[in-house]
């Protein structure tokens, strides 16, 4: 039995592992650090459950985005500690108030990223903020199923491929109390590179990582840099961010993503509201605005119940998604990707970071000079 033919066709959601009735499928990291299902032939009975559940290779439940809103959580601290406008907190508070469970991506003790189950606000706050690395969903699909069977309200948040995987996994379960949020996603970077980067920071600053923020907002929502705390001292850095945006470290299936459109697997889609200054002038204060797409009647009902927690403006859906490229196409696979990973496997992370960071900085400086030159020529 083969679950996938090419790495372009496996998003690593782990539905196949969790559905296997014989525990014959295990998610294991490849040499880039991404998880893929591996079948133990001695346990497999060739029932085909693993292939049938795959949302990436088969079809998925499609909800057409119906409405678009610009949203800011009314609580300023909530917004500052969230990636965008903090709409996720308002949605998840609704579920927690019904004694439900909220699932999403959190840092583990060693700052690796994995999905966890939370049932109160302080645990749920661990889900706040975007972690620009692929989250390991572990056994959360099984746990969601148990919660639903026990009659609980459940909110599951994650990338669109994770939500689609969960929905296929739950095909024979009553999902009337399940709510889902997917993210607009540029692509998920390698967990191995993230770990290497943290070790690099520990060596460089001679201490232990005590906190991390992939997108520190102190210079504003639009600025993009990471913050790494070593022994509680904060360092604002750009090395990981630059690697992320060069697209060499994303999962192979991300360049082949089938969720970069308005056929969404979830009830809600969350994103940064790029272009807000043009679309709703004076709504943004550069502290974060969420783009919220509502994709189902269930989502619409929940949204009506959280109105008091948020400031919002309804927007034209087509205009709202236009500045967000990953709602119309997947991130392109760079020509440099293969060379990046060959260099890394031969020379290790430190040399790779040094080489690629220098290259990226030079590229960015050249781009800025070119843009300045063009604007001067235009003026003349
Ligand atoms: C890898 C990645 C790429 C992204 N790319 C884009 C993009 O191209 N354009 C865009 O507009 N927005 C993108 N986003 C989404 C955006 O950054 C915000 O997460 C989103 O707008 C929600 O913001 P918020 O303020 O409501 O909540 P926040 O508190 O910022 O977000 C928390 C939510 O994000 C989930 N989450 C965080 N990290 C992960 C992860 N690694 N995997 C799965 N779920 C995660 C949590 O479970 C939680 O539900 C991306 C997010 C991630 C994780």
Within-domain flag for 179: yes
Residue with tokens 């990981």: 240
Atom of ligand 1 lying closest to residue 85 CA: 25
Q: Are residues 167 and 44 in the same domain?
A: no
- For position 367, what pLDDT does the model report? 84
Q: Are residues 43 and 182 in the same domain?
A: no
If you take atom 29 of ligand 1, which residue's CA is the nearest one?
128
Q: Are residues 166 and 18 in the same domain?
A: no
Q: Which domain holds residue 283?
A: 63-188+250-327
| Residue where a domain stops, chosen among 327, 355, 372 | 327
Q: Per 3-state DSSP, what percentage of the chain is helix, strand, and coil (rounded to 5)?
A: 40, 20, 40
Residue in 83, 131, 190 to alter for ligand 1 test, most ligand atoms within 8 A of Cβ: 83
Name 375's Cβ contacts closer than 8 Å, sequence gap at least 6.
none
Q: Are residues 155 and 285 in the same domain?
A: yes
If you take atom 3 of ligand 1, which residue's CA is the nearest one?
185
Coil, strand, or helix at residue 28? strand
Per-residue model confidence as pLDDT tens digits over 30-89: 999 999 999 999 999 999 999 999 999 999 999 998 999 999 999 999 999 999 999 999
Least Cα distance to 43 among 22, 27, 26, 28 occurs for: 22
| Residue where a domain stops, chosen among 327, 342, 374 | 327
> How many angstroms does the Cα of residue 369 sit away from the middle of ligand 1?
32
Within-domain flag for 201: no
Q: Are residues 24 and 84 in the same domain?
A: no
The mean pLDDT values, 10 residues at a time, for the chain of 380 residues are 93 98 98 98 97 95 94 96 96 98 98 98 97 98 98 98 98 97 98 98 98 92 94 97 96 97 97 96 95 97 96 96 96 97 98 94 86 81
Coil, strand, or helix at residue 238? coil
> How many angstroms does the Cα of residue 208 sit away from the middle of ligand 1?
26
Q: Are residues 132 and 153 in the same domain?
A: yes
Residues with CB under 6 A from ligand 1: 82-88, 104-105, 113, 127-133, 135, 157-159, 181, 183-186, 188, 270-272, 290, 324, 326
Residue with tokens 């520990």: 202
Q: Are residues 68 and 171 in the same domain?
A: yes
> How many angstroms does the Cα of residue 290 sit away from the middle of ligand 1?
10
The residue count of the chain comes to: 380
The DSSP result for 227-244, as a single string, is: EEEETTEEEEE-HHHHHH
- For position 369, what pLDDT does the model report? 85
> How many angstroms does the Cα of residue 21 sit away from the middle of ligand 1?
32
Atom of ligand 1 lying closest to residue 113 CA: 41
Measured between alpha carbons, how far is 366 from 33 in angstroms, rounded to an integer?
Answer: 32
- For position 363, what pLDDT does the model report? 86
The span from the first CA to the last CA of the chain, in angstroms, equals 66
Q: Are residues 42 and 132 in the same domain?
A: no
Q: Are residues 151 and 287 in the same domain?
A: yes
| Residue where a domain stops, chosen among 291, 309, 327 | 327
Please state the domain count of the chain.
2
Within-domain flag for 211: no
Q: Are residues 162 and 255 in the same domain?
A: yes
- Any idea what the Cα angle at residue 82 is, between residues 193 and 327, rounded to 5°? 70
- For position 236, what pLDDT does the model report? 95
Q: Are residues 39 and 78 in the same domain?
A: no
Within-domain flag for 181: yes
Within-domain flag for 124: yes
> How many angstroms does the Cα of residue 183 sit away from the middle of ligand 1?
5
If you take atom 31 of ligand 1, which residue's CA is the nearest one?
129
**Backbone phi, then psi, for 156, in 5-degree steps?**
-115, 130
- For position 377, what pLDDT does the model report? 81
Whole-angstrom CA distances from 273 to 85, 270, 360 are 9, 9, 26
Within-domain flag for 367: no
Atom of ligand 1 lying closest to residue 133 CA: 41
Within-domain flag for 347: no
The DSSP result for 272-292, as a single string, is: E-TTHHHHSTTS--SS--EEE
Q: Say if residues 126 and 110 touch (Cβ distance below 8 Å).
A: no
Within-domain flag for 366: no
Q: Are residues 17 and 36 in the same domain?
A: yes
Other C-beta atoms within 10 Å of 50: how many? Answer: 24
Helices and strands per DSSP (H, E), number in the chain:
14, 15
């Amino acid at each position: 039995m083969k679950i996938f033919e090419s790495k372009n066709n496996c998003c690593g959601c782990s539905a196949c592992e969790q559905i296997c009735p014989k525990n014959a499928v295990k998610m294991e990291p490849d040499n880039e650090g991404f998880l893929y299902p591996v079948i133990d032939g001695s346990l497999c009975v060739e029932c085909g459950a693993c292939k049938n559940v795959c949302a990436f290779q088969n079809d998925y439940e499609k909800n057409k985005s119906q409405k678009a809103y610009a949203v800011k959580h009314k609580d300023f601290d909530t917004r500052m500690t969230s990636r965008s406008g903090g709409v996720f907190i308002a949605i998840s508070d609704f579920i927690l108030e019904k004694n439900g469970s909220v699932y999403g991506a959190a840092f583990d003790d060693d700052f690796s990223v994995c999905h966890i189950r939370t049932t109160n606000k302080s645990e749920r706050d661990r889900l706040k903020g975007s972690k620009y690395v692929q989250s390991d969903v572990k056994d959360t699909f099984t746990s969601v199923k148990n919660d639903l069977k026990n009659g609980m309200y459940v909110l599951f948040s994650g990338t669109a491929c994770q939500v689609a995987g969960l929905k296929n996994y739950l095909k024979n379960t009553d999902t009337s109390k399940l709510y889902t949020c997917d993210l607009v996603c540029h692509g998920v970077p390698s967990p191995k590179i993230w770990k290497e980067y943290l070790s690099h920071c520990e060596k460089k600053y001679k201490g232990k990582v005590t906190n991390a923020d992939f997108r520190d907002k102190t210079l504003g929502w639009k600025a993009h840099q990471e913050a790494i705390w070593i022994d509680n001292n904060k360092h604002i850095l750009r090395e990981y961010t630059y690697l992320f945006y060069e697209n060499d470290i994303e999962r192979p299936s991300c360049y082949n993503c089938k969720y970069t459109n308005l056929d969404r697997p979830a009830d809600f889609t969350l994103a940064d509201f790029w272009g807000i200054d043009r679309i709703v002038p004076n709504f943004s204060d550069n502290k974060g605005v969420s783009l919220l797409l509502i994709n189902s009647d269930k989502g619409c009902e929940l949204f009506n119940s959280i109105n008091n927690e948020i400031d919002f403006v309804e927007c034209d859906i087509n205009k709202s998604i236009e500045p967000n490229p990953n709602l119309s196409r997947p991130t392109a696979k760079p020509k440099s990707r293969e060379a990046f990973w060959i260099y890394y496997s031969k020379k290790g992370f430190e040399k790779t970071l040094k080489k690629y960071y220098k290259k990226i900085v030079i590229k960015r400086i050249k781009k800025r000079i070119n843009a300045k030159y063009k604007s001067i020529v235009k003026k003349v």
